Each structure stands twice: as C-alpha cells, then as structure tokens.
Amino acid sequence: MARKETVRNAEELVERIMKGNDASHDAAHVWRVRDLALTLAREEGLFSSESMEIIELAALLHDIGDYKYLRDPSEERIVENFLEQECIEEHKKIKILCIIKQMGFKDELAGLVNLELFPEFGIVQDADRLDAIGAVGIARCFTFGGSRSRVLHDPAIQPRSDLCKEQYMKKDEQTTLNHFHEKLLKLKDLMKTKAGQKRAERRHKFMEEFLNEFYEEWDGRA
C-alpha cells in the first residue's frame, strides 16, 4: 500500500477516534505534532523515507488510546490493529509502537524511557512536548483543566514535588496552575534533540512570563 494512502487512512482514524475529545487533545493537536515532528526530523538530518514514515505515523497515532480519554479497554489495540491492516513492515511497526508507548511524561517519571532509543523516538516525543508548552501549551492546559472542572488556582494547594508515575496520574485534587510546576516547566530540560531544545527555550520563557503576570494579577499587584 502506498505511503500516502496509509497516511490518509491514519488521518481519518484520528478524526474518527478523537472527535469527542476536548480541544486540548483533538485532531488539531495531532496535526501540529505531525508537522513539527517532520520539521524537527529534517533539522536533525533524518531524511530517509523510512525514518520519515515512522515519524509521521507515530506522530499521527500517538494519542489514540490515551488513558485520559479511554472509553473502552479495546481502544488500546486500535493502533496495533491499524498498523497490521495497513501491512506496515514488522521492524517499522515495532518502532512506531515503541515511540507511542514510551513517549509519555508519566513513563519518564517511572524510569521506563530508554534514552538510547532510536532517533525517531526523540523527535516525536519532542514535538509532542513542544505542543504542551508555550502559547499553545498554555491554551491547552486551561482547556483540559476546564474540561475536567478543575480548580484554576488555589494558593493553599501546593504543587507536588518528586512525583512518581502513580502520583502524577492522580490529579483530582490538583489545580490547573500546579500542572505548570509539576510538568510543563520541566519539559524544556527533557528535550532529546537540539532542534527541540532550541524551540523549547523560547516557549519555556513565554510560560514563565505568563505565570509571573498571572500571579501578580491574582494577588492584585498588577
């Protein structure tokens, strides 16, 4: 099957599966991650058709089966079934699934991420994390918090430190602002590629400026 047809089928799968998600994890998020991942790949010197195919498919499929939106346990196999139906070669399929299953922040907290993995992994992970920070990241953070009726900010609830995977996944009592301190402000130093690191610097600075302004306004100092 031609690669273009596989990509088109993946795009249709994304639109169908993610149409009920809030705007923090919708198809537009996936398109941004895909486009950014392909740009990072070129900047990192990965021009082979095989690498670009792995990167594009992993980026497109990375949020299908996300635990935050899981409606049915069977959804965890959607990506695997799709790759089999599209007759993706076994070595490519292994890499794509490895990227998707290990790229999450919670997995890095658990020490499950092998930093010596193939370069395609770091590119897709960096692209996804870049979309979580900066101006778009701020918008996504508040969109997700609002969708879960999360408290915006409560000075009495302090951000949790030294989180493990299990603690990170329990967010019921956390505020939206604390998510910046528990995850988003940490992502700059977790970038795997030089191209990702460069972009993260600017986005990180923008978040810091936003938070400073937010706290001043919250306290009536601005």
Q: How many domains does the chain have?
A: 1
Among 81, 55, 77, which residue's Cα sits nearest to residue 65? 77
d(CA 7, CA 221): 51
Task: Please report, for the domain that includes residue 40, its CATH number.
Answer: 1.10.3210.50
* Six token digits for residue 44: 């990192």
d(CA 28, CA 63): 12
Q: What is the pLDDT along the chain (222 residues), one digit of tens a residue?
A: 448 999 999 999 999 999 999 999 999 999 999 999 999 999 999 989 999 999 999 999 999 988 888 777 777 799 999 999 999 999 999 999 999 988 888 766 656 566 557 899 999 999 999 999 999 999 999 999 999 999 999 999 999 877 665 666 566 668 999 999 999 999 999 999 999 999 999 999 999 999 999 999 999 997
Q: Which long-range contacts (CB under 8 A, 24 or more apart) does 169-173 make?
A: 169/67, 169/106
d(CA 12, CA 7): 9
- Return the SS3 of 142: helix
> Could you list the residue range(s) of the whole structural domain that residue 153 is in?
3-218
* Six token digits for residue 101: 């299953």
Among 210, 28, 197, which residue's Cα sits nearest to residue 126? 197
**Residue 176 near residue 152 (C-beta atoms within 8 A):** yes
DSSP state of 75: G
pTM of the model: 0.91
**Residue 103 near residue 109 (C-beta atoms within 8 A):** no
